[in-house]
Amino acid sequence: MTLIPITTESHDVTITMMYATADNFTGKPVYCRPGCYLLGDAEVFLRRAIALARVQGWRFQIFDAFRPSEAQFRLWDHTPDPDFLTDPNRGSPHSRGVAIDLTLLDAQTGEALDMGTPFDAFTPLSHHGNTDISPTAQENRYRLLGLMTAAGWDCYLKEWWHYQLFDSRSYDVMGDRVLEQSMMV
């Protein structure tokens, strides 16, 4: 299958590929450029979620999508925590092109909704259903969860930002070589 580029223009989303910046848990860029891609099956579900969010006055901000397997190895080498990262030897749903990390924005102001923790906060506070965050943050997580699951996505219970296809393991793991232009540093 072919990876489909996800852009602000084509999908009406904000894209902030965190691993193309130093503002991630490794403290340095993992990608040399901020490419955002999904396989066709996942892209269809993203379009559904975008349409559902639009009706409610929200937009999505995407932090990560397809992650070349080389990047997954770098993340794992830095922080081999199976609660928050998939062992690259098993193959991450991100490296299969069928996972996305995102949050909700207010469509009018462009401000991110409070989710209680930042993206990639590797603590129990990031778990769906955590009640140690503010009621507003809990409600916002439920909004995101509702939109994404209504669009057909599966959630990962330990990361409020992570969604993947239910059958993610049925897709092949892909490396940077599948891209016309490399993402890796």
What is the Cα–Cα distance from 107 to 177, expressed in whole angstroms? 36
**Burial group, residue 164, by CB count within 10 angstroms (0-12, 13-18, 19+):** buried
Of the listed 9, 43, 139, 159, which one is catalytic? 159
Residue whose structure tokens are 């030897």: 89
As given in the structure block, the two tokens for residue 33 are 């450029």
Clarify whether 180 is annotated catalytic. no
Hey, what are 79's tokens? 């922080």
Q: What are the CA-CA distances from residue 76 to residues 44, 88, 179 (Å)?
A: 29, 7, 22
- Which residues is 39 bridged to in the sheet? 3
In terms of DSSP bridges, do strands 58-64 and 37-39 run parallel, antiparallel, or are they unpaired? unpaired
Neighbour count for residue 63 (Cβ, 10 Å)? 22
Whole-angstrom distance, CA of residue 111 vs CA of residue 113: 6
Catalytic residue numbers read 159
